[in-house]
Amino acid sequence: MSNSKIIMKTLKYRICFAALIGMALTACKKDFLQTTPTDRLSGSSITTDTSLFEDYVLNRYLGVTLQAKEGDGSPPGFGRGFEYAMWSSVTDESIYTNNDGSWVLQQGQLAPDNLGIAGTLWARSYRSIRECNYALSLINGLKLSAAHKTRLIGELEFIRAFRYQDLIRNYGGVVLMGDKVTDLNSNLQDPSLFKRASLADCFSYVTAQLDDAASKLPLNNDGTWALGRATKGAALALKSRLLLYAASPLYNAGTWADAAAAAKAVMDLNKYQLDQNGYSQIFLTPSSDEIIFERLYYPNTAPHTRLEIANGPNGYDGWGGNTPLQNLVDAYEMNNGKAITDPTSGYNAQDPYVNRDPRFYATILYNKAPYRGSTVDVFLPGGKDSNQGPSNWNTSLTGYYLRKFMNDAYPIDNPWNVAGAQPWIYFRYAEILLNYAEAQNEASGPDATVYSAINSIRARASVNMPALPAGLTQAQMRTAIQNERQIEMAFEEQRFYDVRRWKIADQTENVPAYGVSVTVDASSPTGYDYAQKVALTGRSFQAKHYWLPIPLSEIQASNGQLTQNPGY
C-alpha cells in the first residue's frame, strides 16, 4: 500500500477506532447517567497514549466543517480546495454557477453579518490555533523520543503558522495567541484575548515560528512519515509566501530583499523542480517533484467533492460549477508570447482559441474544445453544453467550463466510489520561482536571475512558451510577472490575495464578469460568431474590501472589545 493511502486511512480511521473503543467501554457502565461521550476523545486519552496523541496531531492537518457545503461534508483542510464554490469564484477568474455564497463577494455586498463563503475563516483558524496550542501544552509530558517529539512540535508550529496566514491575509493585523490555551471559562475581560497586533508584529511572530518549525522538520517524508505531512520545504515555502505578502503595497510591513531571500532559501534546498511531464499532470500526481506541500485524498475514504461532476459541462452530466471568465481567458498570451491586444500577435476574435499559451488548453474548456471523445458545444442553437442541452440548470453562465484539476480517467456520472484521488496542492515550486522573480525585481530590478526564474516556468515541457524579451524595465517586468502569475497559478487560490496585495483589486474586481456568447453563423470561417457578454451583473469592489470584515458574531462575543476592520 502506498504512503498516500496509509496516511488517509490513518487520518480517517484510527481516531474513529479509538472512539469505538470508548463506546464499548461505555456500554459496560450500569449508570447511563454517567455515560462517557462517544463522539470525542477525552483529554486524558491523548495524554496517556502516545499513538492517540500522534493521531491528534495528524488530524490537525484537517479542519472542521462550520457551515453548509463547506467541504461537501469532509473536513476542509487548510484552504478551500475541493469544495463546491472554489476561491477562484470570488475573483476575476471564475464565477460559481449556483452561487452558494460566492456572489456576495463578487457583487461587493460583504458585511459583518453576511460574509457568504468567507464566513468561517476567522473561527476555523482560531479553533485550529487553539488545538495546536493544546497539543503543544501536553507534548513535553509524553513519553516520546526526543527526535519524535521535536518533529511533532515542528508540525504543530507549521500548522499553527498556516492558520495565522489565513487570518493575516484576510483580516490584516490579528490577535496573536502565543501558546495560550483558552476555554469557555477564560476571562473575557483579559484584553490580550482581543487586542489586534500590528501587521509587522504578526509577520514577525509567524515567520519566527516557521524558522523554528523548519529547524525541526525533515527535508523528506519517508519511512513511517507518509506523504502529506509538513517538511522543512513546506515551512520555508510558507515563509516565502508570507514575506512576499509583507513586502507588498497593501501590507507594507517587510522588505522585498527579505522576500527574495526567503524564496531563494527554498530554491537552495535543491529538492524541488518544475514538473516536465505536462502542466495538467502536476495536479493529478501526488508524487510530482514540483509539489512542496499537498493534501492527499483517496477514493472511498474521503467524501469530498468529485471535481469532474462538480465542474463538468452539463452535456456530460456535470454540474457546471466553477466556470472561467472571459477576463481570465483574455489574459492568456498567444503561443508566440504576445498579448492578444498586440495587433501583431495574430489573434482573431472570431477564431479566438487557436495558437494560445498551452496552459490555456490545460485549464479551460471552450467551444469545440476536445473533451472525453467528443467536443464541448456551448453554441446556440442546439449546443449540448448550452442551456438548450440536458440539465440546463447546470449550464455555464460564462460559456466556459473548468479543465484544470480534472482527471478524464474518472467518470462524471455517478463517480462516488471511484473518483476523487487528485491531491490539493498548497505549495509548488513554480510559486516559489514566481515569488523570487517578483521580490528580486522589486529589490534589484530585472536582473538575470529574475529572467531565469520566469523563463524556466515558461520553458517547461508541454508549455514551451517563448522567453520574455530582453531589456524590460522594472515596471515592464512587474507587469510580465503579474500576468505570468495569473496564468500559471490560475484556480489555485492565489488571485484573490494577489490583486489585493498589489492594490489593483479596485481595477480588476470592478470590471464586469464577462463571458462569451457563441452562435452558429454559416457565413463565418469558423462556423460561429463570438461576442462578449456579461455573465454576472453587479460586480463591485470598494476600498474596504481589501480586508474581510470580522464576523459580527465574533465582535459580539468579545463584548465589543475586538476592533472591526475600517468601513464595516
Write down all domains in the chain, each with its CATH number in brackets: 1-40 (no CATH), 255-299+421-501 (1.25.40.390)
Q: How far apart are CA 271 and CA 165, in angstroms?
A: 24
Q: What's the confidence (pLDDT) of residue 74?
A: 61
**Cα separation values, 493 from 63, 145, 357, 559, Å:** 17, 38, 21, 33
Q: What's the confidence (pLDDT) of residue 378?
A: 98
Q: What's the confidence (pLDDT) of residue 23?
A: 30
User: For residue 537, with 0-12 CB atoms within 10 Å meaning exposed, 13-18 middle and 19 or more buried, which class applies?
Assistant: exposed
**Rg of the chain, C-alpha, whole Å:** 24
Residue 243 near residue 23 (C-beta atoms within 8 A)? no
Residue with cell 487557436: 354
pTM score over 0.85: yes
Q: How far apart are CA 3 and CA 227, in angstroms?
A: 6
User: For residue 128, with 0-12 CB atoms within 10 Å meaning exposed, 13-18 middle and 19 or more buried, which class applies?
Assistant: buried
Q: What's the confidence (pLDDT) of residue 36?
A: 60
Residue 387 near residue 315 (C-beta atoms within 8 A)? no
Q: What's the confidence (pLDDT) of residue 38?
A: 59
Residue 472 near residue 483 (C-beta atoms within 8 A)? no
CA quadruple 541, 546, 550, 551: dihedral, nearest 10: 20
Q: What's the confidence (pLDDT) of residue 81?
A: 57
DSSP letters for 23-61: HHHHHT-S-GGGPPPSSS--HHHHHH-HHHHHHHHHHTT
Residue with cell 481570465: 328
Label residue 292 left, alpha or beta by phi (over 0 means left) and psi (-120 to 50 means alpha).
alpha
Q: What's the confidence (pLDDT) of residue 35?
A: 57
Q: What's the confidence (pLDDT) of residue 512?
A: 97
Q: Which amino acid is at 231?
A: T
DSSP character at residue 215:
H
Looking at the DSSP assignment, which residues form a beta bridge with residue 534?
A: 514
Strand duo 322-324 + 94-96: pairing: antiparallel
Q: What's the confidence (pLDDT) of residue 298?
A: 73
**Cα separation values, 282 from 8, 285, 488, Å:** 20, 6, 12
* Residue-by-residue pLDDT tens, the chain, 568 positions: 444 333 333 333 233 322 322 333 233 343 444 556 655 666 678 888 999 999 999 999 988 777 766 655 566 676 665 568 999 999 999 999 999 999 999 999 999 999 999 999 999 999 999 999 999 999 999 999 999 999 999 999 999 999 999 999 999 999 999 999 988 777 777 888 999 999 999 999 999 999 999 999 999 998 666 778 999 999 999 999 999 999 999 999 999 999 999 999 999 999 999 999 999 999 998 999 999 999 888 765 544 568 999 999 999 999 999 999 999 999 999 999 999 999 999 999 999 999 999 999 999 999 999 999 999 999 999 999 999 999 999 999 999 999 999 999 999 998 888 888 888 999 999 999 999 999 999 999 999 999 999 999 999 998 999 999 999 999 999 999 999 999 999 999 999 999 999 999 999 999 999 999 999 999 999 999 999 999 999 999 999 999 999 999 999 999 999 999 999 9
Neighbours of 18 (CB within 10 A): 18
In what helix (H) or strand (E) does residue 554 lie, and over which residues does it extend?
A: helix 552-557
